[in-house]
Amino acid sequence: MNHFQRKRGVLHAERIPLAALAEAHGTPLYVYSTATLTRHWKVLHRSLAGLDHVVCYAVKANSNLAVLSLFARLGSGFDIVSGGELYRVVKAGGDPGKVVFSGVGKRDDEIAFALESGIRVLNVESAPELARVSIVARRMGVRAPIALRVNPDVDPKTHPYISTGLRENKFGVSVADARRLYALAATDPALEIRGIACHIGSQITELRPFLDAIARVLALAGDLRAQGIHLEHLDVGGGLGITYHDEEPPHPDAYGAAIKKALARWDGRVFLEPGRVLVGNAGVLVTRVLYVKRSGRKTFVVVDAAMNDLVRPSYYGAYHTVELAGLPREDAPEIVADVVGPICESADFLAKKRRMPEPLPGDLLVVRSAGAYGFAMSSNYNARPRAAEVLVDGDRALVARRRETYADLVRGEEPAPRAERFTASRG
């Protein structure tokens, strides 16, 4: 359920026509719905009622301050993977005590920043990382709160690029290594064992892989307890899929109920790290048609958004619904077209072989389900300023990120000076 619906044929974000937003803020334009973001967070939170849990929104999916602050006000925790994401969470008023820090490559400065900020836990993903965390904590004279991210070797049956819980993936430590590392951590005064974590992948559309992973992590937690290693929490990760096209992922209610059942015998706290399911269908990308180009037997609808704005179609072959923001012209012929951007790459497409009423230059197209990993993965490739982001609340809209300018593109850069004016550098 989302709040991008047609009224008299015209697509709205809550109570505002998307065309009005495009007129006011230009295109390409990301538009998010407050009501949908709030609803998605609350539905997931309520699905876990009765379980002592913290929903830690995975910041990587959409890290705009407006989105983060909205979730922070609902009482959300956050799953971060970099110092930059921690900075954003703190800026947005998030509670560091509800922050979990995942990722295979944490730098010393990021570990120190996390410890200074008083985050809940560092999800450690390797033996050398555990050693680094200990060194940094000792240097700072603090104890580092840690969990081990276990790789349960479960196939999430999703795209290989977003599968993380298989032995061959770079993430987490094996169950056998986890046993050894917990024993090591338990004897290290600079480390405080808080919990255990797993995350097996993203856009998962079945419950089975989640339940298999939880069963394996629970079994390990039981063994650890028998050895006198106490775990305050168990983190089940994120990964619940959404409907982009014809997928039928479990409803968050079913997901919550299944997690509760699987963890019925767990008496600690439970953390979740959902990203996509909270924000994916809470955002769209609005783009304007520049040309309709015919080339041999193919038809291309050339729009002003491109793979730098939304990379998912070209990177993962992902499907996003594309539709007209307004009503089609009555006499518009049906065409089958690729929707492509202006970037100089054949992989620059938003949609392929889509049947649609032929649009005219100037018409607006809406790319659905763009709230997760949309703007967050955008770039300046081809020196394209990044899109603006707007947050709608009822009949009001907030510019959550202004459109970048040409000056933004070169901020921090220097033209090369003549040779004699280079600064000397040793090493």
Contacts with ligand LLP, residue ranges (CB under 6 A): 58, 61, 79, 102, 162, 164, 199, 202-203, 237-240, 273-277, 312, 316, 372-373
Residue of closest CB approach to ligand LLP: 275
β partners of residue 291: 302
CB of 278 to ligand LLP, least distance (A): 8
Cβ proximity to ligand LLP, 38 vs 164, nearer residue: 164
Is the bond leading into 17 cis (omega within 30 degrees of zero)? no
Cβ proximity to ligand LLP, 237 vs 359, nearer residue: 237
- Alpha-carbon distance of 106 to 189, in angstroms, equals 21
- Residues in contact with 143: Cβ distance below 8 Å, sequence separation at least 6, in sequence order: 137, 189, 190, 191, 192
β partners of residue 355: 336
- Alpha-carbon distance of 381 to 279, in angstroms, equals 25
Q: Distance of CA 265 to CAs 261, 262, 269, Å?
A: 8, 8, 12
Contact predicate 51/58, CB 8 Å: no
CB of 247 to ligand LLP, least distance (A): 12
CB of 319 to ligand LLP, least distance (A): 11
Cβ proximity to ligand LLP, 282 vs 356, nearer residue: 282
**Annotated active-site residue in 226, 264, 344, 407:** 344
SS3 6: strand
Q: What is the CA radius of gyration of the chain?
A: 23
Q: Known catalytic residue: 198?
A: no
CB of 320 to ligand LLP, least distance (A): 10
CB of 197 to ligand LLP, least distance (A): 8
Q: Distance of CA 305 to CAs 287, 384, 386, Å?
A: 6, 10, 10
Cβ proximity to ligand LLP, 16 vs 48, nearer residue: 48
Cβ proximity to ligand LLP, 130 vs 240, nearer residue: 240
- Alpha-carbon distance of 322 to 368, in angstroms, equals 6
Q: Show which residues are catalytic.
A: 344
